[in-house]
Amino acid sequence: CNNNKYILENQIKPAIEAFLNQRRLELSDEKTRIVHINDGFDFLGQNVRKYKGKCLIKPSKKSFQANVWKLLTLIKKNKAISSGKLIQIL
């Protein structure tokens, strides 16, 4: 496992950086990290993780909580309207 991480950090990552460089793009040192797929990672509001041999992508906890907060706020702001109107707004 350590050998794989060494290869990723010292061979694969530099190759990706060179590929991106040619396109005037770069990896963020702050945000880029190498993790095992079983540990999972969040990317663009989604959580990517391997469960029992299958790769699953689902909303991240942070993204899910943000959407729940938006829904609760919208419902609280519109307490006086009918449920039909609220459904239309949603």
d(CA 26, CA 24): 7
pLDDT in tens, 53-70: 999 999 999 999 999 999
Residue 86 has pLDDT above 90, yes or no: no
d(CA 43, CA 60): 8
d(CA 58, CA 64): 9
- The reported pLDDT for the residue numbered 4 is 85
Q: Which two tokens stand for residue 7?
A: 């290869």
Q: pTM, whole model, 2 decimals?
A: 0.61
Q: What single DSSP character describes residue 71?
A: H
pLDDT in tens, 3-57: 888 899 899 999 999 999 999 999 998 988 888 888 999 999 999 999 899 999 9
